[in-house]
Structure formats: structure tokens, C-alpha cells
Amino acid sequence: MAKTEKAATPVEGLALGEQAAGAGALGLLGAGAVFVIAIVFFVAESYFLAMLLVSFALLVYAAGGELGKPMRSSLTIFFSGRHLIKNAVYLQDTVTALRKFLYMKRDDAGWIKVGPIEPGTKAKLPDNPLVREIQAVLKRKKGKEYAEYVGHQYYVDCRELYDHLHAHLEFVANVMPLFGLIGTVIGLIGMFDRLGSNTSVENLAPELAISLQCTLFGAILASVYMSAASRFDQRIKALEYDYDILCHALDVLVDNGADIEVQA
């Protein structure tokens, strides 16, 4: 029997090497350069641009050489229903076909229910590497654990990638309110410095405006980054659900000695 395609090769997955482990000096230097530009805009009283650049500097600090990955991935996740890694797309397509074939659904208690199938029945599934792996496992009667292991290879790379990108965006979202608070304190300090017997509202208004604007812009940018991070969290939950469904489906297929027919 011919060897099946190796499923665990992370061609487009996340390679947890030096770049993924930490941004290092590149991220630190890049963040410092962007932060200096942000200070220039702050002094020029362009507070929104200053806060926007601060958020970008934080993203550079967290991502380093991988800066383009969270930006591109966020846009893809927002405007597409597909996963970022092909293996996860194969998992998604296979689970969709298996749910229809096995009439799978969750009951009121959250348990997965499967419709009855005849022993030795043939399941027609889309032609992709995961389906061919499952087909080989069933023919060789490798058992449930091996079948679930094969499915796990199509799940783990995408899960790692989503966790990685979610962490970057969540970090920026958590820190931005602190920078807004720093701007608020700077404005309040300037306002108290001007207090005196001849102080008027017109003299205090600019510093008060700095305080309110920095707080507002910090909250707005934190909300934007948190919204982007939440999309990756949603994808993680969907991916886990698909993997859970796949494991239950594989158990049913192995127990009933089912055969896989790959659709052309």
C-alpha cells in the first residue's frame, strides 16, 4: 500500500523558533524608534496620532520581525470565514462533511449525538490530505487513538498560531489604557502648575483637554485591539469544537468499521 501524505508537516503553521519565542532586540529597537516619533506628535498636540503610534510601538515590541503576521492575519480573520492554515481548513471541510453523514448534533445537555449507521458503511468525504489519512487509518485498522492523533496534527498548528497572535493583540489592548492614564497625569500636572491667584479657565483648558483626550484615545485603541484579539479567541473555540466533533466522528467510524470514499 502506498504511503499517505505526512499530515504533521507544518508548511504554513507556526514555527516556534526565535522569532515566535520573543521579539528580542529588533522589537525593542523598533518600538523605541516608533515611540520617539509618537512623542514628537504628542508635543505637537496631535494626541490621537501620538496614541496610535504608541499602540503601534507596543505591537512592534511584542511581534518584532513577525509584525506583518498579526496585521495580515487580523484582516483575514475579520473578512473571511476560513482558517489561516490549510490544515485547519482541511479539518473544517472534513468535519462539515462528517456532520452531515453522521447526522451529528448536540443535545440540550451539550452532549454530541450521532445518528445510527450500518457497520461497514461507506462515508463520502471531500478529497484532502486529512481525509486520505483517515482513509488509510481505517483500512489498516490502527484504532481510535491513532486516528485521533492524525486529526490532532491538523489542529495543533493553527491553535498555536491563533494563541500567538491573540497574545500580541491582547498585550497592546491591556497596556493602552495605562498610556492613556499617563497622558492624563501629564495634563493634570500641567494644569496644577498653572494654578495661582490669576488662574482662569482659559489657562487651564488646554491641560484639561490633554487629560481627557489621552484617556479617550487610550480607551478607543484598547477597544480596537481587544476586538481584534477576540476574533482569534472565537476562532480558537471554533477550531476546538471542530476537533471535538472530529474525535467523536472517528470513534464512530472505527467502532462500525466504516470505509472512506474520497470524492473526486
- The model's pLDDT over 6-17, given as tens digits with 9 standing for 90+, comes to 444 444 444 444
Question: Which residue numbers in the chain have pLDDT < 50?
Answer: 1-21
Burial (0-12, 13-18, 19+ Cβ within 10 Å), 115: exposed
- Which helix (H) or strand (E) segment holds residue 22: the answer is none
Q: How many residues can be counted in the chain? A: 264
Residues above pLDDT 90, as percent of the chain: 13
Query: What share of residues in the chain are helix, strand, coil (percent, to 5)?
Result: 70, 5, 25
Q: Are 71 and 63 in contact (CB under 8 A)?
A: no
> The pTM is what?
0.75
- The model's pLDDT over 50-61, given as tens digits with 9 standing for 90+, comes to 899 999 998 888
